[in-house]
Structure formats: structure tokens, C-alpha cells
Amino acid sequence: GATLNARDVGGFIQPHFPMSETELKDLFKNMPNYKFRDDDVMLLTFPKTGTNWLYEILKMILNRSSEYTEDVKMETMMESRLVADIDTVKSPRIMNTHNPYQYLPIKGLQEKQIKTVLCLRNPKDYTVSHYNHMRSIKLYEYDGKWCDWLPICMDGKLEYGKYTDYLKGFENAIKQGVGFPLHVMYFEDLKSNGLEELDKLLKFLEIDLDTALRKDIIHKCGFDQMVNKNWDATNFMFHEETEFNTKGFMRKGSVGNWKTWFTVAQNEAFDKQWNSEMEGYNMFKFRYA
Ligand code: A3P
């Protein structure tokens, strides 16, 4: 099943990262107070909504260079690594997590006023992308059918839970004031308007880059270029016959791929459940094509 090789952390389902129960308990207990460095940038994403993409862009921005680095987001993924290990990563660091708002290092972010980027993606493309992720990575041993995956995903019976809960958590928090600098952006806008989205990011980060470098960052972080990055560094075991193949986290990288997966009936059921769960929440507006 989809929750195979996942772990329940007090009702919150996580991938089975390599650490003991005690280490995991300590990690979550100490998470709120994590001691950031002044020059850390924090990247928040739900799974499959642009983590690796934004990680690369942010890394290039902080390095003031359009060279790919050997770095991978796993090294600073806060729910997957022991604090002692994360603390050995050299600056500038792109700290990142898929955790929902209640499991963020909130006090740490507030204390150092860490610049934090939240990247969101439309839920239908997310659902398709997560399905392929589960089927592609050997660790999960998941070979469920698409029609069986949909309810699992919509009901949040998988790692990181429901996307609607994630979004509602953020909307509530933003309305109350998060107390640290937060920039919200969308996968779909980055796809269609890269340079504009990069400029918004740069303004938020208070970093100036010349036009040639800005253009080259967007070029190098385009889907076709990023496929050529050395993805072996992520150490994932991919099934050879899947769409991911050896391209790591790069599958299609498009907006609207969900249309080739959802039947009309599945789409209607999805909309119905989504709209009912998101009733009263309208902060985040998604583009589906
Ligand atoms: P698809 O499965 O729809 O192709 P994450 O990094 O959060 O795991 O998200 C992975 C998704 O982002 C995948 O979506 C992947 O193809 C897409 N992606 C990664 N880099 C991208 C890029 N440079 N341009 C467009 N999409 C990208």
C-alpha cells in the first residue's frame, strides 16, 4: 500500500527516513526551536510541488552563480536529518521541509527573521506527480493503480497527509501573522513567467543580480536543462521502467499533465471533495492549465 515504508509521528505520516524512533521523537520535539544561521533561507513545499526546482534556483541566487552545485535538498531537509548533521552543512544553506505549518521551526524562523519561501502547485498536478513518485522509487514498493491512488491521496492516507490540511494550516497562520518574512509563489507562474518570478524572489531576498545572470539562472533551471544535473547525488533507487527513470525528480515538469490521468468522473469527484474541504478558505488560487 501507499503508506508502506512510512512512519506515524503522533498521527502525522512521514516517509521512513533513516533514524531511530528516539531520534525522530527528539527531532520533532526540538524542531520548533531550531537555531538557524543568519544567512539561512527556508524553503517550504508540500511534496512534489517544486522543491528541487526552487532549491536549485535559490542556491544559484545565494551563490550569485548559474553553475549547478553538487548540493541536494536532502542534506538540509529538516525532518529527514539529525540536527548534528544539518549543522555541518556549509553556508549558504537552503533549509527545507515538507512539514505542515504546525511542525515548522516557527520560533527559530521568528528569532532570526529567516527569509522563507512557500511554493505551491495546483492539487491535480500534485496528485499525479506524487503517484508517479511513489511508483518510481523502489523504497516505497508501491505499485498501486491510479484509480486506487486517488482516494488515498485525497483522504491524506499517505506521507505528509492531505494537501487541503497543509493549505488551511498556512492560510490560518498567514491571517494571524506568521512573524517571519514569507514569500508565497506558484509552480505554474514559475513555469510560464520565470524571469518575473525570479525578480520577485530577488526583491524578497534583497539581492541584486545582473540581467545576464538572471536570464542564465532561468535557463539553467528550465526543465530540459535541469534533467542534465547529476541526479545520482540524490541516492534514490528508481525503478527503471517508470517515467522518472534515471532523471531523478524530473518527470514531466509541466502544468496540466493531470488531464491525461483524471477521467471526467474522477475530476468531478475531486472537485467536489476539494471544494467542500476548502470551504471558507480562498487565499490560495491555483491555475490548472
Ligand atoms: P512532475 O512529476 O509533474 O513532472 P519536487 O521537487 O517537489 O519533488 O517536485 C517534483 C516535480 O517538479 C516533478 O513534477 C518535476 O518534474 C517538477 N520539476 C522539477 N524541476 C523542474 C523544472 N526545472 N521545471 C519544471 N518542473 C520541474
Compute, in angstroms, the gap from residue 47 CA to the centroid of ligand 1.
10
Instruction: Indicate whether 288 belongs to any domain.
Output: no
Residue nearest to atom 2 of ligand 1 (CA): 129
Read off the C-alpha cell for 127.
496528485
- Asked if 225 and 219 touch (Cβ cutoff 8 Å), the reply is yes
Ligand 1 centre to CA of 215 (Å) is 20
| Cα dihedral sign, 69-75-79-83 | negative
Separation of CA 7 and ligand 1 centre (Å) = 24
Which of 58, 30, 8, 60 minimizes the C-alpha distance to 185? Answer: 58
Predicted local distance difference test score (pLDDT) of residue 121: 98
Q: Which residue has the cell 510560464?
A: 192
| pLDDT value of residue 1 | 47
Write out the residue range of the structural domain in which residue 233 sits: 6-277
Whether residue 283 lies inside any domain: the answer is no
- Report if residue 289 sits inside a domain: no
| CA-proximal residue: ligand 1, atom 14 (nearest) | 253
Domain membership of residue 241 (yes or no) is yes
What is the number of the ligand 1 atom nearest to the C-alpha of 133?
2
Residues with CB under 6 A from ligand 1: 45, 47-53, 125, 129, 132, 191, 221-223, 226, 249-253, 257
Q: What is the pLDDT of residue 134?
A: 87
Tell me whether residue 286 is in a domain: no
CA distance 194 to 19: 37
220 found inside a domain: yes
pLDDT of the chain along its 289 residues, tens only? 445 578 888 889 988 888 898 999 899 889 888 999 999 999 999 999 999 999 999 999 999 999 998 888 889 999 999 999 999 999 999 999 999 999 999 999 999 999 999 999 999 999 999 998 888 777 788 889 999 999 999 999 999 999 999 999 999 999 999 999 999 999 999 999 999 999 999 999 999 999 999 999 999 999 989 887 755 544 455 555 555 444 557 889 999 999 999 999 999 999 999 999 999 999 999 999 9
C-alpha count within 13 angstroms, C-beta hemisphere, residue 83:
16
Give the separation between CA 91 and CA 41, rounded to whole angstroms: 10
Domain with 205 in it: what CATH number? 3.40.50.300
Beta bridge partners of 44: 97, 118
Say if 200 falls within a structural domain: yes
Query: Residue 152 falls within a domain, yes or no?
Result: yes
According to the model, what pLDDT value does residue 36 have?
98
Domains in the chain, number: 1
